[in-house]
Structure 1
Amino acid sequence: MNITLDKSSTTEASLKIALTPEDYQAGVDKKIKEYSKQANLKGFRPGKVPASVIQRLYGKSILVDEVNETLSKAVNDYLRESKLLVVGDPMPDREKANAIDWDSQKEFEFVYNLGLASDFDVDFTKLPAITSYEIQAGDKEYNDTLVDLKKRMGEHAHVEEVTAAGDLVYGTFTQGEYSEKSAIPTDKLTEEAFAGFVGKKKGDVLTFDIQKLFADEKGLKLATGREDLSGEFEFTIEDITRNQDSELNQEFFDKVLGPGKVSSEEEFKAQLLEIVQENYKRESEFLLRDEVQKTLLDNVQIELPNEFLKQWLIETNQGEITAEEVEKDFDKFARDLRWTLIRNKVAEAADIKVETEDVNTYAEAMVRQQFGIYGDDNGMGDVIKKVAQNYLQENKGQNYMNVFNRVYGGKTMDFILTQIQPNVEKIDVDTFKAKAGVTDAE
C-alpha cells in the first residue's frame, strides 16, 4: 500500500491510496472460505460449496467489500496518525472510482479530496482586555421581584364583573355551528375591545369581530388554540376570575423560601436579595462566557476551505439542502466550526477529560431543574437518577453524546476562564441589560 498526500493549498489537499493484491487478497480468500462453509446452494452439500463456485458467483462483491474495508481503515489510520486538521469528511474522486474495472484490475488507485483548517495557536496573553460585570441589585430589583412573586403566589378569586385588565373571562365562543368553551385573558385584548368587556357579568353575551379582539395574533391562539378564525362571534360569559396578590406574611415567606427559613420582612428581604444577586451573577457569567468566545473567534485566525465545505454540506445532506440554503447559513456554520477547533485545541492542551460520572451528574441536574427541585430532593434521588439514565439511553445514544459535549464544552470554558484576567466593572441592572441586549419584556 502506498499513501501520498498532495497539499494544493493551506486548506486543501488530495490523498492518494494505491492498493496491490498484497493489501487485500488475503482478506478476499478468507471471506471466500467463510462463504464456502456457510453457503447453501442447490447441488452441493451444506458447507461443501467449492471455493471456485463461490468465486464465480460472489467473487466481485467480496472483492469490492474487502477493498472498501481496507481503504476505509487506511484513510482513518492515516488521518489519525498525521494529526491533520481535517474538516468535513474526505470526499472521494467519484469519476476515478467509477472508472475501475472490478473484473480485471488487480491494482487500484483511489483519490480523496480533503478540506483542512490552517494551523493556529491560542495565546491567551495576546487577547485584548475582557470585561466582567458585577451587577448591583438593590431596592428596585427587590421590589420588582416581590411584585412578581406576590402575583405568582396569589390566588384566583371569582368576581362579579370585569373591572381590571388581567381578569380572566370564561365562557363559550359561538359562530354558526362552531362552539368552543375557552377563557379570554383581558390583558391580551385591544384597548377598544377591553372597554367592551368592562362592567360585563356572568350570563352577558358579547358580540365582536374576533380578528379585532386581541392586541396580536398570539392572544387569539392563546384563547382559542387556533389562528384561522375570522368574522363575527358571540361570547357568553360563564365565570370571571381575578388574580389576587398574595399578602406579605409568614405563609408567603414559607412558600417562597421554604418553611421556617425567615420570620420577618427584614430577613425575607435580605434572603431574597441574595437570591436575586446570585441570579444576576449567573447572567453575568453567561455574558462573560459569550464575550470570551467572541474575543477568541475575533483574534484566533483560522483559515477554512470554504468552497470544499459548501460542497461537502450539499453532498452529505443528499438533496435535503440546496446550494442557496448552504450559502445563506454558511457564515454561522463556519463560525461554529472555528469555535469547535479552538475549543478542542484548548481542551487537548489542558488534558480536559469527561468521565461517565460527569455526564450522569449533569443529566441528573437537568432532571432536577425540569422537576423544579433546587434544594433537598425530598427522597426523590433514586427517581431522578432513573429518569436521567433513561434519557441518556434514548435516541440511540445521541442524548448521551449531546450531554457529553455540553460537559466537555463547559469544562473547557471553565479552564479558559482561569487563563484570563477580566477587568471587573460594577454596574446596575439596567446598564447590564442594555449591554446584554435584554429588554424588560424578556
Structure 2
Amino acid sequence: MEITLDKHSANQASIKIKLTEADYQPKVDAKLKDYAKKANIRGFRPGKAPVSMVKNMYGTSILVEEINGILGESLNSYLKEQTFRVLGDPLPVENVEDSIDWKTQKDFDFEYKIGFVENFELPLDKNIKATKYSIKVDDKLVEETIENLKSQYGNSTNPETAEAGDNVYGDLAAAETSFNKAVSLDLTKITKKLAGKFIGQGKDAVIEFEAKDVKKGQWEEAFGLSAEEAEAVQGALTFTIKNVNRTEEAELNQEFFDKIFGPDQVKTEEEFTAKVKETLQGNYDKESKVFTEEELKKVLVDNANLDLPEAFLKEWLFKANEGKVTVEDVEKEFPIYAKQLIWSLVSNELAKAHDIKAEHEDVIAKTKEMIREQFAASGLGSQMEDSMDMFVDNYLKGEEGQNYMNMLTSVQNEKVLSFVQDKIDLEEKDISIDEFKELLEN
C-alpha cells in the first residue's frame, strides 16, 4: 500500500491511496472461505459449496467490502499520524470508483480531499486585552420594576369613564377603506393629544380622529395591528368604546410581598425593595457574565488567527447533510458555523495546553443548576429537589447521549474562559442598563 499527501494550499490537500493485490487479497480469500463454510446453496449440503462457486456469486461484493474497510482504517490511521488537525471528514474524489473494473482490476487508486488547520499555539499573556462588564442596578430601575410589579399584580376594574393610563376596548373603523376591527388600545402608547380625546369618555362613546394623528409604530404597539392592517387604516377614523379596562396598583402589603417572593420571605417595604434589587442584580450578573464570555471568545478567536478551508467545509457540509439543506442554506449559515468551529478549536487547544478538564462531577453540577433554574421559572422550585437525581439522569441520557456531550463541552468552555481571565489583561468595567443595551445593539 502506498499513501501520499499533496498539500494544495495552507489548509486543503488531497490524499492518494494505492492498493495492490497483496494488500487486500488475503482478507478477501479468508472472507470467501468463511462464506463457503456458512453458505446454503441449492444442490449442495450447507457449507459444502466449492469456494470457486461462492467467489462467482459473492466475490465482487466481498472485494468491495474488504477494500472499503482497508481504505477507512488506513486513512484514519494515516491522518492520526499527521501534525495538522483535519476538519470535517475526507471527501472521496468523484468519479474515481465509477471507473473501476471490479471484475478484472488488480491494482486500485483512490483519492480523497481533506481540509485542515495546522497545529497552533495561543499564548496567554497581558498582550491579550479584553473587558469584563458588570451591569449595575440603580435605584431608578428598582423603582420602575416595583411599579411594574404593582401594576402586574393589581386588581382589574371596568370604570364608567376612561382616565390616563387605561386600556379601552372597542371598534376601530376607517370609512375610506372600509376597515373595521375590534381592538384593545393602550392609552399610554399613543400621543398625549390623541389620548386626551378618550379621557372622560365611556361605553358607546364614538371618538373621531385622523390616521395622521397616530405616529409611526403606534398602530402595531398601541392598537395591536399588523403592518398590513396599519396600511389599510387611512383618512378619517372612528373608535367606538365598548369597555374601559383599568388596573389598580397593588398595595405594598404582606399579601403582595408573599405573591412576589413566597410566604414570609420579606416583611417590610425596605426588605422588599432590597430583595427586588438583589434579584435584579443577580439576573443582570448572569447576563453580563454571558456577554463578557461571548466578547472574550471573539478576542481569543481573533488572536488565534486561524484560516479555515472554506471551500472544502462548504462542500463537506452540503454532502454531509445532503437532502436536508441546499447550497444556498450552507452559504447563509456558514459564517455562524465558522465562528463556532474556530472557537471549538481554540477552546480545545487551550484545554490541552493547560490541562483543563471537564469532569463528570462538573457535568452533574451544571445540569442540576440548569434544571433548578427551569423549576424556579415554572414556580415548582424546591419541591422537586427530592427527584433531582432522576431528572438529571434522564436529561443527560437524552438525544442518545448527545445532551451529556453538549454539557461536557459547555463545562470545558466555562473552565477555559475562567482560566483565561486570570492570564490576560482584563479590564473590569461597570456599566448601566442603558449602556448594556447599547452594547447589545452594536
* TMscore range, shorter length: 0.7 to 0.9
- Tell me the equivalent position of 1:414: 418
- Tell me the equivalent position of 1:156: 156
- Tell me the equivalent position of 2:81: 81
- Tell me the equivalent position of 1:277: 281
- Tell me the equivalent position of 1:332: 336
Deviations 1:115-138 (A, max 9, x none): 121443212216443222333322
Contact 1:186 1:194 in 2 (8 A): no
- Tell me the equivalent position of 2:112: 112
1:296 maps to a residue whose letter is L
1:378 paired with 2:382, answer yes
Cα displacement (A) at 1:162: 5.5
1:306 paired with 2:310, answer yes
- Tell me the equivalent position of 1:346: 350
2:149 maps to a residue whose letter is L
1:332 maps to a residue whose letter is I
Give the match's secondary structure for 1:403: helix
1:142 paired with 2:142, answer yes
Give the match's secondary structure for 1:123: coil
Cα displacement (A) at 1:324: 4.6
Measure, in 2, the Cα distance between the counterparts of 1:156 and 1:43: 90
Measure, in 2, the Cα distance between the counterparts of 1:188 and 1:48: 92
1:317 paired with 2:334, answer no
Contact 2:190 2:222 in 1 (8 A): no
- Tell me the equivalent position of 1:94: 94
Contact 1:368 1:374 in 2 (8 A): no
Contact 2:397 2:403 in 1 (8 A): yes
Q: TM-score, normalised by structure 1?
A: 0.79
Measure, in 1, the Cα distance between the counterparts of 2:65 and 2:196: 77
Q: 1:110 to 1:216 in 2, by over 3 A?
A: farther
- Tell me the equivalent position of 2:42: 42
Measure, in 1, the Cα distance between the counterparts of 2:241 and 2:118: 69
Measure, in 1, the Cα distance between the counterparts of 2:403 and 2:61: 36
- Tell me the equivalent position of 2:408: 404
Contact 1:246 1:252 in 2 (8 A): yes
1:247 paired with 2:255, answer no
Measure, in 1, the Cα distance between the counterparts of 2:378 and 2:421: 26
- Tell me the equivalent position of 1:20: 20
Deviations 1:258-307 (A, max 9, x none): 32233222222223222222333222222221221121222221122222
Give the match's secondary structure for 2:383: coil
1:270 maps to a residue whose letter is A
Give the match's secondary structure for 2:285: helix
Q: 1:391 to 1:349 in 2, by over 3 A?
A: same
- Tell me the equivalent position of 2:300: 296
Deviations 1:307-339 (A, max 9, x none): 222333333333654445544444333333222
1:336 maps to a residue whose letter is Q
Contact 2:186 2:222 in 1 (8 A): no
Q: 1:111 to 1:408 in 2, by over 3 A?
A: same
- Tell me the equivalent position of 1:175: none
Contact 1:168 1:185 in 2 (8 A): yes
1:258 maps to a residue whose letter is G
1:303 maps to a residue whose letter is D
From 377, 396, 399, the counterpart of 1:395: 399
Q: 1:145 to 1:98 in 2, by over 3 A?
A: same
1:137 maps to a residue whose letter is V
Q: 1:268 to 1:52 in 2, by over 3 A?
A: same
Contact 1:6 1:13 in 2 (8 A): yes
1:262 paired with 2:266, answer yes
1:434 maps to a residue whose letter is E
- Tell me the equivalent position of 1:366: 370
Cα displacement (A) at 1:71: 0.9
1:3 paired with 2:3, answer yes
Q: Which moved more, 1:9-18 or 1:129-138?
A: 129-138
Measure, in 2, the Cα distance between the counterparts of 1:170 and 1:378: 44
Cα displacement (A) at 1:164: 5.5
Measure, in 2, the Cα distance between the counterparts of 1:217 and 1:431: 27
Contact 1:127 1:295 in 2 (8 A): no
Q: 1:261 to 1:49 in 2, by over 3 A?
A: same
Cα displacement (A) at 1:61: 0.8
Cα displacement (A) at 1:75: 1.4
Give the match's secondary structure for 1:130: strand
Q: TM-score, normalised by structure 2?
A: 0.79
Measure, in 2, the Cα distance between the counterparts of 1:349 and 1:200: 73
Measure, in 2, the Cα distance between the counterparts of 1:155 and 1:237: 21
Give the match's secondary structure for 1:367: helix
From 429, 439, 442, the counterpart of 1:435: 439
Gaps of at least 5 residues in structure 2 are: 172-181, 209-213
Deviations 1:379-433 (A, max 9, x none): 3124444344434434344444333333332232222223224122333333333
Measure, in 1, the Cα distance between the counterparts of 2:219 and 2:75: 57
Give the match's secondary structure for 1:416: helix
Contact 1:165 1:194 in 2 (8 A): no
Cα displacement (A) at 1:223: 9.0
1:108 maps to a residue whose letter is F
Gaps of at least 5 residues in structure 1 are: 172-181
1:91 maps to a residue whose letter is L
Q: Give the fraction of aligned pairs with identical amino acids, expressed as a percent.
A: 39
Contact 1:150 1:247 in 2 (8 A): yes
Measure, in 1, the Cα distance between the counterparts of 2:183 and 2:372: 32
Measure, in 2, the Cα distance between the counterparts of 1:245 and 1:351: 56
Give the match's secondary structure for 2:18: strand
Contact 1:136 1:428 in 2 (8 A): yes
Cα displacement (A) at 1:103: 1.0
Contact 1:131 1:423 in 2 (8 A): yes
- Tell me the equivalent position of 2:179: none
Measure, in 2, the Cα distance between the counterparts of 1:46 and 1:206: 95
Measure, in 2, the Cα distance between the counterparts of 1:236 and 1:436: 41
Give the match's secondary structure for 1:304: coil
1:17 maps to a residue whose letter is I
Q: 1:280 to 1:6 in 2, by over 3 A?
A: same
Q: 1:361 to 1:161 in 2, by over 3 A?
A: farther
Cα displacement (A) at 1:190: 6.9
Q: 1:201 to 1:215 in 2, by over 3 A?
A: same
Give the match's secondary structure for 2:52: helix
Give the match's secondary structure for 2:257: helix
